[in-house]
């Protein structure tokens, strides 16, 4: 298989050291199909064991590896080097979250927002002996929102999360909508109250960045707008 030479310029940062971030260049020769993640793993194993980044599934399902490659937020395991149209590639951590080291960002902050929206089903009444029956036509609205893998890509491209750390952000609001609109849920009122604020659904700039970037086709903006319609307008 023909190979091609790439230069990966990776943003290195070790905040506890007090040193400012810097870019470090690595050269490697790879065959077609190799992803940014695979390239980073090869660098880590063969050239520089100090390079830090997260990964798990390598199949775009676990949400570990979102980062920025040549300016674009994407899952590193799904982004092929050959597909980037250049042999010089810069790799940076997700913006809007604190860097812990190199390409690793603080996920706790992000996940806590998710917890704030009470992301669990709250059905009315006791559980039936079998499954709850649901009309398939009531089953399509929430489904796309269940596909979120919590990779934080949306968080990284949202202008609001960039300027207001208190904002719940597109992922948490999409998760919120997923339960709000679940045909089995019975806690709509409480749920609506949770996000009826400037750090909730009213904080969104409606620029659709999140919906464009989501690797799983989730459309947080749509969920936010529908939720707004269901929240009583504020006096």
Partner 1 sequence: MTEISRHDVLIAGGGLAGLRAAVQVHDAGGTVAVISKVYPIRSHSGAAQGGVNASLGNHPEGGDDSWKGHAFDTIKGSDYLADQPRAEILAQDAPERVFEMEHWGAYFSRFPDGRIAQRPFGGAGFPRTCYAADRTGHQLLHTLWEQCLKRGITFLNEWFVTRIVTHDGRAGGVVALHVPSGRIRTFAADVVIVAGGGYGRVFAKTTNAYINTGSLTAAAYRAGARLEDMEFIQFHPTTLYGTNILMTEGVRGEGGYLLNAEGKRFMDRYAPSVLELAPRDIVARAIQTEIDEGRGLEDEYVHLDIRHLGADVIKEKLPGIRQIAMDFAGVDPIEEPIPVQPGQHYSMGGISCDENGETDVPGLLAAGECSCVSVHGANRLGGNSLLETLVFGKRAGDRAVEIAGGVSEEAMTGALADALLEERDVVGKLRGRTDGERQIEIRRDMQRTMTDRVGLFRDQGRLADAVRELARLRTRYRRVAVGSGHAAFNYDLIDTFELGGMLELAEVTALGALVREESRGGHWRTDHPKRDDRNWLKHTMATRGRAGQPVIDYEDVLMAGYEPMERKY
- Can you tell me the distance from the alpha carbon of 177 to that of 166, in angstroms, rounded to the nearest whole number? 19
- Residues that bind ligand FES (rule: CB under 6 A) add up to a total of 13
Residue 63 sits in the site that holds ligand FES (CB under 6 A): yes
- Can you tell me the distance from the alpha carbon of 69 to that of 40, in angstroms, rounded to the nearest whole number? 12
Question: Which of 85-93, 96-104, 153-161, 162-170 is the region at the interface with partner 1 (rule: CB under 8 A)?
Answer: 96-104
For residue 192, give both structure tokens. Answer: 């609506």
Q: Minimum Å distance from CB 93 to ligand FES?
A: 14
Residue tagged 């939720």 (tokens): 227
Residue 135 sits in the site that holds partner 1 (CB under 8 A): yes
Q: Which is nearer to ligand FES, 60 or 192 (CB)?
A: 60
Binding ligand FES (rule: CB under 6 A), the pick from 28, 41, 65, 69 is 65
Q: Minimum Å distance from CB 25 to partner 1?
A: 18
Binding ligand FES (rule: CB under 6 A), the pick from 75, 171, 173, 204 is 75
- Can you tell me the distance from the alpha carbon of 178 to that of 231, in angstroms, rounded to the nearest whole number? 15
Q: Which is nearer to ligand FES, 105 or 204 (CB)?
A: 105
Residue 208 sits in the site that holds ligand FES (CB under 6 A): no
Q: Minimum Å distance from CB 38 to partner 1?
A: 9
In the complex, the residues that contact ligand FES under the rule CB under 6 A are: 37, 55-58, 60-65, 75, 77
């Amino acid at each position: 298989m023909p190979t091609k030479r790439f230069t990966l310029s990776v943003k290195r940062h070790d905040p506890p050291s007090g040193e400012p971030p810097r870019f470090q260049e690595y050269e490697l020769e790879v065959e077609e199909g190799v992803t940014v993640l695979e390239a980073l793993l090869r660098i880590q194993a063969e050239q520089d064991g100090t390079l830090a980044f997260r990964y798990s599934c390598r199949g775009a399902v676990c949400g570990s590896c979102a980062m920025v490659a040549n300016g674009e937020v994407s899952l590193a395991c799904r982004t092929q080097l050959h597909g980037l149209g250049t042999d010089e590639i810069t790799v940076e951590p997700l913006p809007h979250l604190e860097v812990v080291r190199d390409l690793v960002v603080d996920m706790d902050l992000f996940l806590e927002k998710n917890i704030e929206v009470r992301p669990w089903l709250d059905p009315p009444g006791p559980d039936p002996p079998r499954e709850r029956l649901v009309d398939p036509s009531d089953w399509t609205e929430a489904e796309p929102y269940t596909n979120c893998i919590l990779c934080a890509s949306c968080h990284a491209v949202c202008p609001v999360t960039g300027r207001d750390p208190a904002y719940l952000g597109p992922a948490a609001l999409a998760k919120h909508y997923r339960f709000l609109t679940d045909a089995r849920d019975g806690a709509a009122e409480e749920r609506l109250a949770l996000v009826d604020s400037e750090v909730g659904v009213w904080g969104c700039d409606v620029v659709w960045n999140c919906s464009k970037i989501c690797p799983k086709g989730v459309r947080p903006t749509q969920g936010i707008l529908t939720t707004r319609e269901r929240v009583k307008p504020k006096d």
